[in-house]
């Protein structure tokens, strides 16, 4: 039962189907069409860029937060909870909050004006040059707390004796991080990478709620293009082919860690 929907999706990727008439087998025609599809190329490039920026920043910020908050100190639980809180919110709710903040008269532009940076005011979601990066920020805001928790769990599993021995040998904090912390977090890194890749390639909710892939496909991802193609243009065969591409990309990245 687990593999049946995937097999059916792969079969549909080899057909031309509008959801009403019987599917018409076209072989690799849908995949051949992608080669000449400019929107697909834009969505693929944006997806790779999203994976690099969203993945790299969420891993770096999550690890940094975990390192800062790993020591048990008074009030540390508050900061951990504050960073993890966005994870509890749905992506749609998160997107709606940030959409209000990104409005021309929203919080971000008002703050910029208040601190003397009025020249930086912008229609963040309506500009092709800023829409893609503006959409990444809410996704990062939600993801960092989750990655932080994964790294906190990994840091708790490192034997303190290793650090004590390194201090006796005169190792600096940077050397301890490079030669003790990072190697000990190898298994956690594999989990974090898998989570980030999967979340990156299925980042649909926040993008769709904020820009629907616009303006002019500047924030289009493979996931949003798949949805609009399959359920708005009713090209379910081509949409299924896009889903297969997403699966291949995700599996290709995380296969070595499975």
> 201 lies in a domain?
yes
**197-226 pLDDT per residue, tens:** 888 877 888 999 999 999 999 999 999 999
> 113 lies in a domain?
no
Domain hosting residue 85, numbered range = 37-90+127-220
What is the predicted pLDDT for the residue at 251? 85
> 147 lies in a domain?
yes
What is the predicted pLDDT for the residue at 258? 63
**How many angstroms separate the CA atoms of 210 and 106, rounded?**
14
What is the predicted pLDDT for the residue at 1? 64
Q: Which two tokens stand for residue 20?
A: 């009403």
Positions of the chain with pLDDT under 70 = 1-2, 257-258
> 27 lies in a domain?
no
Count of domains forming the chain: 1
CA angle (50, 187, 191) in 5-degree steps: 35
Phi, psi (rounded to 5 degrees) for 15: -125, 165
Kindly report the CATH number assigned to the domain that includes residue 133: 1.10.3720.10
To 10 degrees, what angle do helices 4-12 and 236-254 make?
120
> 172 lies in a domain?
yes
> 64 lies in a domain?
yes
């Amino acid at each position: 039962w687990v593999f049946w929907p995937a097999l059916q999706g792969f079969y549909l990727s080899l057909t031309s189907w509008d959801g009403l008439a019987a599917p018409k087998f076209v072989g690799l025609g849908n995949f051949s069409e992608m080669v000449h599809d400019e929107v697909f190329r834009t969505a693929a490039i944006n997806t790779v860029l999203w994976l690099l920026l969203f993945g790299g920043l969420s891993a770096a910020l999550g690890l940094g937060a975990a390192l800062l908050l790993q020591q048990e100190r008074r009030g540390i639980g508050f900061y951990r909870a504050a960073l993890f809180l966005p994870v509890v919110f749905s992506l749609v709710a998160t997107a709606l909050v940030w959409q209000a903040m990104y409005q021309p008269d929203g919080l971000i532009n008002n703050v910029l004006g208040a601190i003397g940076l009025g020249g930086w005011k912008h229609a963040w979601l309506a500009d092709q040059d800023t829409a893609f990066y503006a959409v990444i920020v809410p996704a990062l805001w939600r993801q960092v707390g989750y990655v932080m928790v994964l790294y906190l769990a990994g840091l708790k599993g490192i034997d303190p004796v290793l650090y004590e021995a390194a201090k006796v040998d005169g190792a600096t904090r940077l050397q301890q991080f490079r030669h003790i912390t990072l190697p000990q977090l190898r298994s956690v890194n594999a989990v974090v990478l898998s989570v980030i890749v999967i979340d990156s390639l299925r980042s649909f909710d926040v993008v769709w709620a904020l820009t629907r892939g616009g303006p002019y496909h500047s924030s289009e991802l493979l996931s949003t293009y798949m949805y609009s193609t399959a359920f708005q243009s009713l090209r379910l065969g081509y949409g299924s082919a896009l889903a297969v591409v997403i699966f291949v990309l995700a599996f290709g990245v995380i296969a070595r860690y499975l």
